[in-house]
Amino acid sequence: MRLTLLFILLCAGIIGQGQEIKPAAYLFSGEIADSDLLPVQKAWEYSFIGEYQLALRAYELEPDTREKAGEMQGNLKDEEYSFFSSFSPYNAKAYILDRSRRERILMINEAHNNSRHRVFVQDLLGGLYQNGYRYLGLEGLSPNFSDSLTLGSDTLLNKRGYPLNSQYTGYYTREPQFANLIRVAIEMGFTVVAYERTPFQDMERDSAQALHVMRILQEDPGAKILLYCGYAHLVESIRERREENYGKTKWLGAIIQELSGINPLTINQEVLTERLKTPNSPYFSLIDAGTSAVLLNDKNVPFNGPKGFDKYDLLVYHPPTQYVAGRPDWLYRDSTYQSFQVPEELLEKLSCPCLVKAYRKKEQPNSVPVDIIELTGKVTDQKALVLPPGSYRLEIIDNKEKKEYLITIVKLNSTKPLNH
pLDDT single digits (tens) 215-267: 999 999 999 999 999 999 999 999 999 999 999 999 999 999 999 999 999 99
| Structure confidence at residue 169 (pLDDT) | 97
Q: Are strands 323-324 and 314-317 parallel, antiparallel or unpaired?
A: unpaired
3-state secondary structure of 375: strand
pLDDT single digits (tens) 101-132: 999 999 999 999 999 999 999 999 999 999 99
| Structure confidence at residue 411 (pLDDT) | 58
| Structure confidence at residue 410 (pLDDT) | 53
CA distance 254 to 137: 17
| Structure confidence at residue 377 (pLDDT) | 79
Q: Are strands 225-230 and 135-138 parallel, antiparallel or unpaired?
A: parallel
Work out the mean pLDDT of the chain and round it to a whole number: 91
Cite the DSSP H helix spans in 238-303: 252-260
Q: What is the largest CA-CA distance in the chain?
A: 66
One digit per residue, pLDDT tens: the chain, 420 residues? Answer: 433 443 344 344 344 444 478 899 999 999 999 999 999 999 999 999 999 999 999 999 999 999 999 999 999 999 999 999 999 999 999 999 999 999 999 999 999 999 999 999 999 999 999 999 999 999 999 999 888 889 999 999 999 999 999 999 999 999 999 999 999 999 999 999 999 999 999 999 999 999 999 999 999 999 999 999 999 999 999 999 999 999 999 999 999 999 999 999 999 999 999 999 999 999 999 999 999 999 999 999 999 999 999 999 999 999 999 999 999 999 999 989 999 988 888 887 788 899 999 999 999 999 999 999 999 876 567 899 999 999 899 999 987 766 766 666 555 555 544 443
Between vectors from CA 388 to CA 224 and to CA 414, what angle results, nearest 5°? 165
DSSP annotation of 210: H
| Structure confidence at residue 351 (pLDDT) | 84
| Structure confidence at residue 4 (pLDDT) | 42
Q: Which of 264, 303, 308 is nearest to 281 (CA)?
A: 303
pTM to 2 decimal places: 0.92
3-state secondary structure of 137: strand
Q: What is the CATH number of domain 63-317?
A: 3.40.50
Where exactly are the structural domains of the chain?
A: 63-317, 328-420
